[in-house]
């Protein structure tokens, strides 16, 4: 059965994410810049890269390779179109990280998992991350904080409503517990696990 995200056009997704009632596209863009500037990764992996929001902040003198993961090939094609001339080593992979376990693509020193754990199997996602991050690498996770609301924000975009069938609230306590199973923890321990809330 085809994943729901393969039926949501990128323009619908981006319109929803930047809608005034959501504001997540802008927030995630600024957070991407913040962590790229702070961590200066040589290899950066983005889970659920969609249309490449934030990739304009990549400094090719610092970050030598960018890996994008998404379930929707059309999203990846658009990301390639937008950034192929800006990022020389941009590698994009169509992968459902909920169903493919232990797949290794590279060893990144920075993985950005922004608003993806709400739509995938958490433990499987962490296994994928574990197999694609370097020792002493940085994992940045952003989760949704909906104050108990368990539905997608209403922005008038009909297609995005179907994502509500997959959406689940990720509790920070359970998130940290799952992260710990795979050797991640918060600063300043050896493997780094950042958790930043998104409102």
Pairwise CA distance, residues 51 & 18, whole Å: 13
Place 107 in a pLDDT band, splitting at 50, 70 and 90. Answer: very high
Pairwise CA distance, residues 72 & 180, whole Å: 29
User: pTM score, two decimals?
Assistant: 0.84
Strand blocks (E) in the chain: 43-47, 65-70, 90-94, 108-114, 133-144, 192-198
Share of the chain above pLDDT 70, in %: 80
Chain mean position to CA 9: 18
Question: Phi and psi dihedrals of 185, rounded to 5?
Answer: -155, 175
For residue 146, the model assigns a pLDDT of 56
174 Cβ contact partners less than 8 Å away, ≥ 6 residues apart? 122
For residue 169, the model assigns a pLDDT of 81
Choose the CATH number for 4-198 among 3.40.50.150, 3.40.1190.20, 1.10.1040.10, 3.40.50.10800. 3.40.50.150
What tens digit of pLDDT does each residue of 111-161 get? Answer: 999 888 888 888 888 999 999 999 888 999 888 765 444 445 555 555 777
Q: What is the mean pLDDT of residues 183-191?
A: 57
């Amino acid at each position: 059965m085809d994943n729901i995200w393969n039926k949501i056009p990128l323009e619908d997704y981006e319109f929803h994410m930047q809608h005034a009632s959501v504001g997540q596209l802008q927030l995630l863009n600024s957070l991407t810049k913040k962590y790229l500037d702070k961590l200066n990764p040589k290899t950066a992996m983005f889970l659920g890269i969609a249309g490449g929001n934030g990739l304009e902040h990549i400094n090719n003198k610092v970050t030598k390779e960018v890996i994008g993961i998404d379930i929707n090939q059309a999203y990846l094609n658009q990301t390639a179109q937008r950034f192929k001339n800006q990022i020389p080593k941009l590698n994009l992979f169509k992968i459902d990280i909920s169903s493919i376990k232990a797949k290794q693509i590279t060893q990144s020193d920075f993985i950005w998992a922004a608003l993806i754990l709400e739509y995938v199997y958490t433990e499987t996602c962490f296994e994928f991350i574990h197999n694609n991050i370097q020792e002493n690498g940085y994992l940045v996770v952003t989760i949704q904080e909906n104050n108990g609301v368990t539905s997608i924000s209403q922005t008038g975009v009909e297609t995005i409503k179907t994502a509500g069938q997959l959406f689940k609230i990720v509790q920070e306590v359970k998130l940290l517990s799952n992260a710990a199973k795979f050797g991640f923890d918060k600063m300043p321990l050896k493997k780094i696990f950042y958790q930043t809330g998104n409102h």
